[in-house]
Amino acid sequence: MFKKVLIANRGEIAVRVARTLREMDVSPVAVYSEADRDALHVRVADEAYEIGPAPAAESYLRVERLIDVARRSGCDALHPGYGFLSENPALPEACEAAGITFIGPPASAMRAMGLKTAAREKMAAAGVPVVPGGGAGTLDEARATAARIGYPVMLKATAGGGGKGMRLVQAAAELEAALDRARSEARKSFGDETVYIEKAILKPRHVEIQVLGDRQGNVVHLFERDCSIQRRHQKVVEETPCPAIDDETVRKMGELAVKGAQAVGYFSAGTFEFLLAEDQSFYFLEMNTRLQVEHPITELVTGIDLVREMVRIANGEALGYGQSDVVRRGAAIECRIYAEDPATGFLPSPGVIHTLRTPSGPGVRDDGGAYAGCTISSYYDPLVSKLSTWAPTRALALARMRRALGEYVVGGIRTNLAFHERLMTQPEFAAGRYDTGFIDRHKDELLSAASGHEPSKEQLASALAALAHHRAVSSQPAAPAANGHALAPWVHAHRARLGRASRGGA
């Protein structure tokens, strides 16, 4: 097994990866930009190294700096997390050249699935259903494609993701202007203005299948996640099981995802994304060749630690189980807690968190990257944490989420907590009747309630308790790390345990 792993990321995902590494007795090494000098992921690592200024292009996106840190710190492997360079084949290629194991899929699979048009062709050849579509290299070609498949159509950036470079076109008269806008946004976001056209599936659900594969060619799926609650094509809430899918469709979708992964020689964790129509027909969208933000809910219902599996697979180990061994129990839901203000169109709300009180109790998991006194930077995605709940039934999982949201207190910045609270009590959502356009259709109802939210008695009590605790511990000095940063107490406990083990102690 690896001795040291460089986590080439920041925030909550870096903290989450470090936790599993520590459980495996692997030493986590962090990197940070100038803006992240005091970030939580720096504090929980055994070592941390600065890699450049705040802008990601000058720090977290610099492959050569990451490899240099991995070499200097003696890391034998690297985990990319998600975002940043996690789907850039240049990173696994640089790792291979440096003799460092990349904890993720091969660069060849990344390249095969990285461009959406090429991925569509490969999946179609493998028998995976794809949305009817075609090229849009010129306006004439775009018109011909749209006329062939019929309006409405969706323009999509070939190299894109996260909703960038996407435009819905309802009629031929709208096509030219929409094509110009989609190209411009794609060029600014990805440095590639190429777009293509797909048939627009009306009122779809966004359903994805989690897959795991080893280097020996074994691949399994870990069921589906429903990611239909989106704002501007960005996921906001995810749950599993999908409340609108039948078991037979899940089986078919899972089998096709496994087949698609095998077709490109895929290993490690990955996700196949599909559009699910109301008649249970489904179509391949894209494959994410990395760990997903919403992976905790799959872990909660299957009991499988996806980061641990990624590490094992990278180490050359076989999965050791087949599809029949993967069992799902209960239901789970995740809310992404962002530093943003719903009342101002979800504008980011960077700043210092003065008070932080996270929920706990049965079936509650909070994957966070913040602490009281830390700064949410304007340079990066304003995700504070991912709050997940699990229960034997969907109804109880929702009830636990409502309770957990009521306990969550963040002071000093604005968040979308009230928006989530309102969403969890919205009758149609509670009944599982939603699609990708749900938030847009109900935005007045959801945002007016969120902007006028007043803290509950429970939240006020939690805030006072958190403030008292923060004041009590803030006066206690923390031991410095080797790089001069304060370390969390559990890091010292872990080091002490390793020291006892090395001396032959218990």
φ/ψ (deg, to 5) at 26:
-110, 135
Residue 239 lies in a domain: yes
Residue 31 lies in a domain: yes
Same domain, 177 and 297: no
Residue 113 lies in a domain: no
493 burial via Cβ count (<10 Å: 0-12, 13-18, 19+): exposed
> CATH code at 424?
3.30.470.20
Listed residues 199, 223, 258: the one ending a domain:
199
Of the pLDDT bands very low, low, confident and very high (cuts 50, 70, 90), residue 367 is very high
pLDDT above 70 (res 337): yes
pTM of the model: 0.83
pLDDT above 70 (res 431): yes
pLDDT above 70 (res 469): no
Residue 127 lies in a domain: no
What are 334's two structure tokens?
Answer: 């995740």
List alpha helices for 126-278, DSSP H.
139-149, 175-190, 247-263
Cβ–Cβ under 8 Å, residues 253 and 209: yes
Same domain, 355 and 467: yes
Q: What is the pLDDT of residue 53?
A: 98
When divided into structural domains, the chain yields a total of 4
Of the pLDDT bands very low, low, confident and very high (cuts 50, 70, 90), residue 38 is very high
Catalytic residue among 10, 167, 290, 422: 290
Same domain, 345 and 453: yes
Residue 191 lies in a domain: yes
Q: What is the pLDDT of residue 126?
A: 87
Residue 169 lies in a domain: yes
pLDDT above 50 (res 475): no
Same domain, 289 and 221: yes
φ/ψ (deg, to 5) at 376:
-85, 110
Same domain, 282 and 347: no
pLDDT digits (tens, 9 = 90+) for 173-186: 999 999 999 999 98
Active-site residue, 167 included: no
Of the pLDDT bands very low, low, confident and very high (cuts 50, 70, 90), residue 236 is very high
The mean-pLDDT minimum among 3-12, 283-292, 445-454 falls in 445-454
Of the pLDDT bands very low, low, confident and very high (cuts 50, 70, 90), residue 465 is low
pLDDT digits (tens, 9 = 90+) for 347-358: 999 999 999 999
Q: What is the pLDDT of residue 449?
A: 53
Give me the percent of the chain exceeding a pLDDT of 90.
77
pLDDT above 50 (res 228): yes
Listed residues 82, 103, 124: the one ending a domain:
103
Beta strands in 267-408 (DSSP E): 268-276, 282-288, 331-338, 340-341, 347-348, 351-352, 355-357, 364-368, 375-376, 383-391
Domain coverage including residue 91: 4-103
- Cross-strand pairs, 348: 340
